[in-house]
Amino acid sequence: GAVVSQHPSRVICKSGTSVKIECRSLDFQATTMFWYRQFPKQSLMLMATSNEGSKATYEQGVEKDKFLINHASLTLSTLTVTSAHPEDSSFYICSARDIYRGTDTQYFGPGTRLTVL
Amino acid sequence: EDQVTQSPEALRLQEGESSSLNCSYTVSGLRGLFWYRQDPGKGPEFLFTLYSAGEEKEKERLKATLTKKESFLHITAPKPEDSATYLCAVQAIPRSGGSNYKLTFGKGTLLTVNP
């Protein structure tokens, strides 16, 4: 149980294009999802908290107009990287908060490797 | 500001050689401490949650313990398949009764177990 999927797993795009990443909780409902990015050999950095039916909360230094987050249902959150540039290349990971199994735990997706040329 | 420091940064063990990983934390009020395992190119895999000092959790060759300032992840008789990066994260009690459930991660310990 507690499975989180992400799609796509890898994406390569040209500079200036937009890329959408989906995060789904497959066997539980998640009112809260989180988006992280991870650079090589570094830990996870929280970008934003996504709440179902309301606006996302962004961490300091994260451009909300560049990283658009939509949490339209209890099992789906999307991250859109708008006008992507090479410096946006990174490993993006989502997590979903499960509060229905007796513990308040974040379960992570497998990640999306974004490469911007 | 919440802080998590993990040590060592990297650890090499021989198969069967037991050891411990450390996670020191500073948080205004601890709601939970989490251990995850991350394999290269993959998302973190949940291992344990600890909520209060003195609590212990076990899973196969892993045992996590918690004090008021740190947590240890003990690995008993490790196998090569235990090789991974182990991440520690804390969740603070939200200030002012808010509902912020975010995790603050340490940089991780890269564990390599040689056969």
Residue B108: list chain A partners with CB under 8 A.
43
Instruction: Using DSSP bridges, classify how beta strands B19-26 and A112-116 pair: parallel, antiparallel or unpaired.
Output: unpaired
Residue B102: list chain A partners with CB under 8 A.
34, 46, 49
| A83/B contact by beta carbon, under 8 A | no
| Closest residue to B105, CB basis, from A4, A43, A107 | A43
Q: What is the pLDDT of residue B1?
A: 83
Beta bridge partners of B59: B62
Closest CA to A50 of A62, A68, A38: A68
pLDDT tens sequence for chain A (117 residues): 689 999 999 999 999 999 999 999 998 888 899 999 999 888 899 999 998 888 899 999 999 999 999 998 999 999 999 999 999 999 999 999 987 766 788 999 999 999 999
Q: What is the pLDDT of residue B71?
A: 98
Residue B63: burial class (beta carbons within 10 Å; 0-12, 13-18, 19+):
middle
What are the backbone angles phi and psi of residue A81, rounded to the nearest 5°? -90, 110
Do B107 and A42 count as a contact with CB atoms less than 8 A apart? yes
| Closest residue to B43, CB basis, from A46, A104, A108 | A108
Q: What is the pLDDT of residue B96?
A: 65
At B1-54, the pLDDT tens digits run 889 999 999 999 999 999 999 999 999 889 999 999 999 999 999 999 999 999
Burial letters for B85-96: b for 16+ Cβ neighbours within 10 Å, e otherwise?
bbbbbbbbeeee
| Closest residue to A43, CB basis, from B31, B101, B107 | B107
At A25-47, the pLDDT tens digits run 998 888 899 999 999 888 899 99
How far from B93 is each of B29, B37, B87, B97, B99, CA to CA, in Å? Answer: 5, 24, 20, 8, 9
Residues 39-58 of A with CB under 8 A from B: 42-44, 46, 49, 57
Please name the residues in contact with A55: beta carbons below 8 A apart, sequence gap of 6 or more: none
Angle formed at CA A42 by CA A38 and CA B32, multiple of 5 degrees = 80
Interface contacts (A, B; CB < 8 Å): 53
Asked if the model's pLDDT at residue B97 lies above 60, the reply is: no
| Closest residue to A43, CB basis, from B91, B100, B108 | B108
Q: Token digits for A68?
A: 């658009």
